[in-house]
Amino acid sequence: MKKWVLIIIVILLLCSGTLWFIQYRYFHVEPLSKSEAINHIEAIYKAHVTQVKKQGDIYEMFFTRDNVKYIAMLDAKTQQVTDLTIKEGQTKLLLTEKQISQMVKQKYGDVESIKLTDTTYTVRVEKENQQKDLTVNAYSGEIVSVENVEPHKPPVEEPIITEQQAIQIALGQLTGEVDSVDFEETAEGGYYLVEIETQDDEATFQIHAVSGEVLSITWDDDQ
């Protein structure tokens, strides 16, 4: 064999050895340990691993997320999840507020408010000045119940009679001169105290400030 052939063979062997060293040194990935596999799955799925089984280089990972139980098959060498299945639990996702709004708007009117409680939405809608509260299944969008909302009626404030009106009422009971007028506020609307003097008598009239009714008449016994 010629000398130059031997040199080429040696060079090729050296190159192969160098490539193998570089690949092992910089690209070789050690198989995941059990704790590393757990951390890997929990980081990927933001879940909690409850059980781990290993068969060869494959980890069988049991984990839960949002009350749903999953099983993931994790290759310890490639760190890839080769299979993911749901073991048990709610498999549907909650409908969003936007989806619920679109579903009820056409039939029931404009959506005023939406509130999620557990697995149901409470949706208040308004159509033709009539409000309704809908109870909606958060998974299926099914309307569970419909209730009419009684319109809020602000309390009617009865007009309070004026001081001059109170004076006229008192003068209608006794002709004389007005000595004083006072107003006392109460939960029932208040009342006026109108004091009337005549040449012979002096009386204080208690007049209801809303109805104008004369509640009492107090005479001055000193006159």
Residue 17: the pLDDT is 44
Query: In the chain, how many H helices and how many E strands?
Result: 4, 12
Name the band, by pLDDT with cuts 50, 70 and 90, for residue 82.
confident
Query: 13 falls in which pLDDT band (50, 70, 90)?
Result: very low
How confident is the model at residue 15, as a pLDDT?
Answer: 54
How many whole angstroms separate alpha carbon 211 and alpha carbon 191? Answer: 9
User: CA-based diameter of the chain, in Å?
Assistant: 157
Question: DSSP alpha helices (H): ranges in the chain?
Answer: 3-22, 34-45, 97-108, 163-173
Residues 134-147, mean pLDDT to the nearest whole number: 87
What angle is formed at CA 200 by the lines to CA 195 and CA 205, rounded to 5 degrees? 20
The string of pLDDT tens digits covering residues 186-198 is 888 889 999 999 8
Pairing verdict, β 120-127 and 130-137: antiparallel
In the structure encoding, which two tokens stand for residue 188, read together? 């029932």
- Return the pLDDT at 128: 82
Closest CA to 182 of 170, 165, 194, 198: 194
Q: Which residues contact 24 (CB under 8 A, 6 or more apart)?
A: none
Instruction: Say what the pLDDT of residue 159 is.
Output: 59
| Region of 172 on the Ramachandran plot (φ > 0 left; ψ -120 to 50 alpha; else beta) | alpha
Residues forming a β-bridge with 107: none
Contact in structure between 201 and 208 (CB atoms under 8 Å): no
User: What three-state secondary structure class fits 18?
Assistant: helix
Q: Count CA atoms closer than 13 A to 111's CA, side-chain side.
A: 19
How is 140-187 classified by DSSP, letter by letter? T--EEEEEEEPPP-PPP-PPPPPHHHHHHHHHHHS-SEEEEEEEE--T
Where do we find the tokens 């107090």? Answer: 218
Q: What is the pLDDT of residue 46?
A: 80
